[in-house]
Structure formats: structure tokens, C-alpha cells
Structure 1
């Protein structure tokens, strides 16, 4: 399957001066030509830094203005017209999976069939602790994630009316024991963020799990984080066609420089 190169804006609400600024950023990303606009599913903005080992939490996690993801998505479904929309990614432990499927179906209708359902096991302990959810262990969260995916797919197939399209399920992560089997079995989009050699090895694992589930792995769109055009060229050659750039607010609002760079690279490769 030959896929188009696509560009997504992951627009963080946490720390925005107000809701209108976040809303305006969503509209601006669509106006610039983003194929997808994502939010995040955090009740508090995670203060993080990127290291050679991945994302690490800062020792201090201050409270800043923030907004809930799915109520915002319903608004985005009304105010946008062309971009797909979603959350990168929904924490499975925060909502009953059958309810989440119904929420997704409803937003799919509001948007005219533009929803992507990003789902993950959850990882930011502060979200759980402050809002009264059981954080559990990585194992218990992954168990809940696996069962939640099964329930979501079952509910989506049995809702009346059914979604306007088969809502794409996005799964993020690269854990070989638990996450990649779920990618092979359930994902329509796999978001990883790996270097070329690591991606090659783990992509082979995804292919094996997809085959074991009776799926053609070409139905799974590969996604990663945008860094530079040169790195994107390398990853495109490996079959990664969806690139996602983060837009984090400052006191002055959002800077769209990285998004415009990503869009220029996308257009040059279409």
C-alpha cells in the first residue's frame, strides 16, 4: 500500500494564556494545511525533558492552566473542516472503554468522519493521583489497555448508529512484550519515535504480530516525531509517512515555525 506523506500538529493546551489561544492555534494549524491536529489527554501539563533515553519528568511539576481533551475535541469537530482530529493519546484508565467508544463515535459524527482514536495505557502518575484514579503498576495498566482495546472495538461494531467510517485506532509506544503485539492486532496508526535501526527491528516485530492476527501490516500507518528534514528523509525511506510536531504555548501564544517546516517537507515529498 502506497501512503501519502502526512503532517500533524500536536498542540499542547497546558500553559496557554487562555482557552481562546489554544482554540485559535487549532484553527491556525488547519489553515496552514496540517492533515491532523492532536491534543493530549492530561489533566495537568507534564513538565518533561527529552534525553537520550526518551522522555523524563522534571522533579517539579507545577500546576498551570490546562483543559480537558474530549470536551475540547467536540468543539474542534465543529470549528474545523478539513483536518482530522484526535488525542495523542487517550489514557485508557480515565474512562470506561465502552463509553470512550461511544464518545469517539459521537465526535466522529460531529466532525463528519474525521476522528482518530488515539489510545494508550497512561503514564503520568500525577493525573491519576490528583483525580482519584488507581495508578497501579505498568503491568496492571497494560492489562487494562489490552482489555480496553478489545472492548472499544466490540462497542464500535455494535453502536447504533455505527460510526461514519471505521474510526482509525492510533497506538503509541514500542514495548516489545506488550505494546507491539497490540499494535499488530489493533492499530491503524502506530506512533513510535525511534531511530532508523531500532525502528527496523521493531517494525519487523509489528509485522510478525500483524501476520499472527491475520492482518496485512500495510494497513498500519507508521508515525513518528518530527525533528529535521534530513532525519525525516531517512525515516520516510523506512516507510514512516506520518510526522508529528509538538506546539507548546508560551506567554505570547504558539510558534508555528516547526509546523511550517514540516509542511514544506511534506509538500516536497508528495
Structure 2
């Protein structure tokens, strides 16, 4: 598993009717694949997030959409950034992602997180609880999901979940890559070091060097080579040469790159790659611009040489 240049589709508000919505998603994924992106991600949400749109704006269920994208693409890895553990029984999630791996011929990535969008939980009837509750649920879920992905048949009875000789067949691979999103230094990063192949660091640009230091320390503490835990960060991108610094709200300046493709890539290099992060997952602001073919290709052509290892 290598994620150096990913695309996140975070918004389905393209200014089109519903009939044109998924063809537009396919067009984005195909452009990313042709441009050399190694992965395509969708969010695992049922309502649009604050800051990106209103709750009733278009939002597709993640694994249904990924299954369809698997038949429309050939080489990009496919996954969520990231699956909210609270939304699915862990054995069902293991079945869903192994099915995606079969459908995509070995291109699935399982992204996992605790779940955080309280309004969505309350509206749809999912138990939210405290962060500690959600993190403990994730810990139990991993004791079911990880062995199932490896072809084992776990029996487990915990506070939140229980299974008896749970199976996920068929499987395409013996190891399906695991990605976790977050940046918590007491729980998330140590969990990433213990169980995961990839950590998507959700932190402001100015925090990245410190978070990477914590990653190294957590890996070394358990005897893991830090180089074996890949890292990336999600970057919101306003790919428009007319956008200036004054157009970006202060609360987003630590997450957003903007301007022409050349300016976007220069900012990614300075703010992300020079900090030591292995890769970047680009989330173009299609909610503001619509889907404009060619934008991500232009960025990829300039960015790919900086990501070669």
C-alpha cells in the first residue's frame, strides 16, 4: 500500500440534477486515475458537513458509491476518509470492505475513525456517547475486523460488540491495507503505530512537524520502524488563480491551499511535504467552483515529481 497522491470527493453539489450527479463523480475519479493519483476517497457521511454545505445537500452512502467506482476505474485504490466506526457493525464493515476488494480486484483501503459528527448521529439514531466511548468501540471493532480481513474466524464478546467465528469470504488478498485518520497523541497515534499501515494526520499545517515527531516516538516505543507507517494529510484546495489569501477565512488558513496549480503545489510543498509528511490527499472545492475538468490534472503534473520515492 502506498498513498502519496490521493483525491477526496467531499462534495456532490455540482449544480447538476441528480441524474448527472454520479456521472460527474465517475468523471472526477477517471481524471484522477489518468493524471496519476494513486487513490480516490469519499467521506463516510450521510449528511453534508458544516463548512462544506447544508445538511440536506447531496451526500452519497460511501460503500455503495465505492462499489460503483470500482467498476468505472482500473488502478486507483478506493476507500473512505474515513469510515465512522459507529455507523456499522464491525463484522458488516469487514464484509463490505472485503467485497469492495473483490469487486475492485484488490484496490480497497479500509479507512477507520471513531466517528465525530454528533448531529448526524442524533438525527439518524446512532449512539454518540463520549469520545472515550467511541474510542473504546473502535478498539473492540479492531479485534473483530483485523482478524476477519486476514481470513481468521474471531470469536469475541465485549461491551459493545460480539461475534462467534465470524467470517468474511471471499477475500481477494491476505492483507487489506488499514488507514486511520486523526492526530490525537494519547490514543489515535499510538493506535496507528500498533495496528495501521497509514495515518492521515488531521491537523493544521503548523502542527504537522510536531505530530510527526509523536508518530516517530510512538513507533519506536513499540519497536516499529517509523518508516513503515505511511503518513498523509488532507488538503482543501481552491484551484483558481483568481483566489487570493484574503478570500480564505482565517479559520481555514491552516487547511487550505489556493491559487493557480503552480501556487497550490508550491504551498503543498512548503506546508506539507517539507514538514516531512509522506503524501497529500487533495480535496478540491467543487462546492464552490463545480467540477472543472483539468484542475486536478494540472496539479498532479506538477506535484507528482515531488512525491516520487
TM bin (shorter chain):
0.7 to 0.9
The match for 1:83 is 76
Match of 1:187 in 2: 196
* Superposition CA RMSD, Å: 2.5
Asked if 2 retains the 8 angstrom alpha-carbon contact of 1:224 and 1:244, the reply is yes
C-alpha separation in 2, matches of 1:4 and 1:266 = 16
Question: What secondary structure, in the 3-state scheme, does the structure 1 residue paired with 2:24 have?
Answer: helix
CA distance in 1, matches of 2:87, 2:33: 28
Q: For 1:46-92, what per-residue CA distance to the aligned partner results, in whole angstroms no more than 9, with x for missing partners?
A: 1227xxxxxxxx8xx44112210001111111111011111111000
Larger radius of gyration: 2
Deviation at residue 26 of structure 1 after TM alignment:
2.0
Q: Aligned runs of 1:116-135 on 2, under 5 Å?
A: 116-135=109-128
Separation in structure 2 between the aligned mates of residue 124 and residue 62 of structure 1, nearest angstrom:
11
Q: Secondary structure at the match of 2:280?
A: strand
* Pairing 1:220-231 to 2, within 5 Å after superposition: 220-226=229-235, 227=257, 228-231=264-267
Deviation at 1:112, TM superposition (A): 1.1
Distance 1:256 1:190 in 2: 29
Aligned mate of 2:100, from 93, 107, 110:
107
Change over 3 Å in CA distance of 1:181–1:250 after alignment to 2: closer
CA–CA separation in structure 2 for the residues paired with 1:193 and 1:261: 25
| Equivalent of residue 26 in structure 1, options 26, 29, 42 | 29
Q: Following TM superposition, where does structure 1 have runs of at least 4 consecutive aligned residues deviating by more than 6 angstroms?
A: none
* Cα pair distance change 1:6/1:147, threshold 3 Å: same
Kindly tell me: are residues 4 and 104 of structure 1, through their superposed partners in 2, closer, same or farther at Cα, counting changes over 3 Å? closer
| Contact residue 3 and residue 38 of structure 2 kept, 8 A | no
Structure 2 CA distance for partners of 1:5 and 1:163, relative to 1, 3 Å: closer
Structure 2 gaps, min length 5: 153-167, 236-256, 258-263
For the pair 1:260 / 2:297, whether they are aligned, the reply is yes
Task: Confirm or deny: 8 A CA contact 2:180 2:198 kept in the other structure.
Answer: yes
Q: How big is the shift at 1:256?
A: 5.1
Q: Please, what TM-score do these two structures have when normalized by structure 1?
A: 0.85
Which residue is 2:156 aligned to? none
